[in-house]
Structure 1
Amino acid sequence: MHLAIFDLDNTLIGGDSDHAWGEFLVEREHVDGEHYRLSNDRFYQDYQRGELDIFAYLEFALEPLAQISRGQLENLQSEFMQEVISELWLPAAQELIGEHRRKGHHIMIITATNRFVVEPIAARLGVDTLLATEPEEHEGRFTGRVAGDPCYQAGKVLRLHQWLAQNPEYASREKWFYSDSINDLPLLTEVEHPVAVDPDARLRAEAQSRGWPIISLRD
């Protein structure tokens, strides 16, 4: 069975779920509004430039998970899916996943966004495996810290290799990887079938120079 791997934000959905979650928390007044929004925007701009300090960002992004009760978080998560993520849904992305599914491929999302935010999105997309940045938990509550290696840039390659070590039947299989972001260049260069999806300017230039397919899921 071959492996079809997808980035999530701005690839399978028409926006960035991590940044949108921060905006959602501001709107619901669960964080210090103006200060949090400015920091959220600054980190997102760093990400778009490929210059994000992932550990500084995770310290910022995971802190609200530790400050809000688990029950409140679950309610917010449900409302976020209904009010925000539903507006970012891309039918063509579901069709592409379906094409790979019909070919018998194992479907994986690999994303830098933390599991709490993306797990219900991955469930709705019906993927087989989700590799995401893992927020640390202790006695049923989030601690505000990251567990293990962030699933970002070269960390995506590391996390995929760790998964392949645990699932060796896929190690020698062909792999597709779909992404919009220059941050995913390390993993794109690892797979047999890299595909740029509605790519940022830097990834578009890389894809053109390397002869990689460039597709859109937003047309």
Structure 2
Amino acid sequence: MNIALFDLDHTLLPIDSDFTWALFTNSIGWTDADESLKQNDIFYQQYVDGVLDMNEYVRFVTRAIRAHTPEEARAAHNRYLAEFIEPQVRAEALDLLRSHQQAGDTLVLITATNRFIAGPIGERLGFADENIIATELELDDTGWITGNIDGVANLREGKVHNLQQWLAARGLDWEKVHITFYSDSYNDVPLMEKSAVPVATNPDERLRALAQERGWRILDLFPTE
């Protein structure tokens, strides 16, 4: 099986969907803008530095969701998609996805962003729900989000673990697939090293330097924010 594997933020989208979700919840009054932006900056720097505590971050990013009913949260997400994500869907990204589809590749999205935020974005970009690997959220007895992570956070080595689980569920392993992996982030080096064709896409400074050193393909798909 040929798999075209994609990170989401700054790879297929020129933005960070978690950060943009915070901007959205600020705009509708669900979160305090000053406090939210300050905390988000701290978390983002921890992500860049490779020291982000995903459990702490998921509790932070889901707090506005958990304070509302599932119906209210899903309605808000529909508005977020229309107002904050749709304007950032770029033709270059859609063309790249289409080229892999036409080649017969299986499209898989793998993102550290949690399932509530990332799932509908992935579907908008054309990924089947079962081919979206995200940070999963623990649900309570009512089926609503607790603020905890379910399973292994989909970040750094966690992406390798979760993709391996995805493959195993389909009777596959690393030797039975050919993976082309597009990512912008140095955090994804563990998975890029497991992939047949790593593609540093809109790469951050450290990933660009590593890609140049190792002779990996570099794809500047579009300017990122």
**1:113 touches 1:133 (CA, 8 Å); kept in 2?**
yes
Contact 2:164 2:173 in 1 (8 A): no
| 1:140-179 to 2 correspondences below 5 Å | 140-169=143-172, 171=174, 172-179=176-183
Distance 2:127 2:181 in 1: 14
Per-residue deviation at 1:63?
A: 2.2
Q: How far apart in 1 are the matches of 2:202 and 2:190?
A: 18
Instruction: Judge conservation of contact 1:178–1:194 (CA < 8 Å) in 2.
Output: yes
Where 1:9 maps in the other structure, the secondary structure is coil
Structure 1 position 19, deviation (Å):
0.8
| 1:202 alignment partner in structure 2 | 206
1:140 is matched by which residue type in structure 2? G
Segment drifting more, 113-122 vs 46-55: 46-55
**For each residue in 1:89-113, what CA deviation from the matched residue of structure 2 results, as whole angstroms up to 9, or x when unmatched?**
1211111111111111110000000
Distance in 2 between residues matched to 1:169 and 1:160, nearest whole Å: 11
TM-score, with length taken from structure 1: 0.96
Indicate conservation of the 8 Å contact 1:62/1:145, yes or no: no
- Aligned residue type for 1:69: T
Letter in 1 for 2:46: D
Following superposition of structure 1 onto structure 2, how do residues 54-133 of structure 1 map, counting pairs within 5 Å?
54-128=54-128, 129-133=131-135
SS at match of 1:150: coil
Structure 2: gaps spanning 5 or more residues: none
* Secondary structure class of the residue paired with 2:15: coil
Aligned to 1:8: 8
Q: Give the TM-score taking structure 2 as reference length.
A: 0.93
Percent identity of equivalent pairs? 38
> Aligned in 2, Cα 1:173/1:114: closer, same or farther, shift over 3 Å?
same
Q: How does 1:182-197 map to 2 (within 5 A)?
A: 182-197=186-201
Query: For 1:68 and 1:41, how far apart are their aligned partners in 2?
Result: 24
Q: How many equivalent residue pairs?
A: 219
RMSD: 1.3
Structure 1 contact 3–170 (Cα < 8 Å) conserved:
no
1:170, distance to aligned residue in structure 2 (A): 6.0
Q: Which amino acid aligns with 1:156?
A: K
CA distance in 2, matches of 1:127, 1:75: 21
Aligned-partner Cα distance in 2 for 1:146–1:154: 16
Summarize deviations over 1:86-140 as a string: whole Å, max 9, x none.
1221211111111111111110000000011111111111113100001112213
- Amino acid corresponding to residue 10 of structure 2 in structure 1: N
Q: Which moved more, 1:104-113 or 1:53-62?
A: 53-62
